[in-house]
Structure 1
């Protein structure tokens, strides 16, 4: 029996699997939400917005979101270097779903008499 090399992307048969591979994890949805709220953010602003993320993880997450075409990265060739991140048109398509999660989360916090922590 021959060993068959399988492309992991070809294995994705379900839209939920595909979507969560793009936006799953602790930070991706939050980054998309903050970019939606602020329209454009620089790296330092994103870092301050998500104080629980390490520099390495923020860089890796931004690269993955850019590779998946959910955000755009604009580099300005000035000194000091300036880089801005914003949602792509594909990333904007996710916002209604993230809003739905936002509303659901607020309802759950309310049911449990918990306050939202910024």
Structure 2
């Protein structure tokens, strides 16, 4: 039996403890973190998912296979969602992480929590 990663445990702790309901993850890759998150509504963004995401689509999980810049500029407006927790785990560059953070501000509320994975300054 596979045990959840430290990231999954921490994120699920925050969701449970703070009663968070909506989650956005940018940079999902194989879905190792995303698929283990327990919340009411989850959104995944990745330019090329590395798993069969179609079989996980349901009312609780939405998948957007596109660059995050496209998601934030074109598709996110149709969601009418203010995210409680945003996990930025994309390209791991300072520039892209900053751009994702700034773009996600429009879809946040006063109590939104951001988590940033490792970034590499240039």
TM range (shorter): under 0.3
Larger strand share, 1 or 2: 2
**TM-score normalised to structure 2 length:** 0.27
**TM-score normalised to structure 1 length:** 0.28
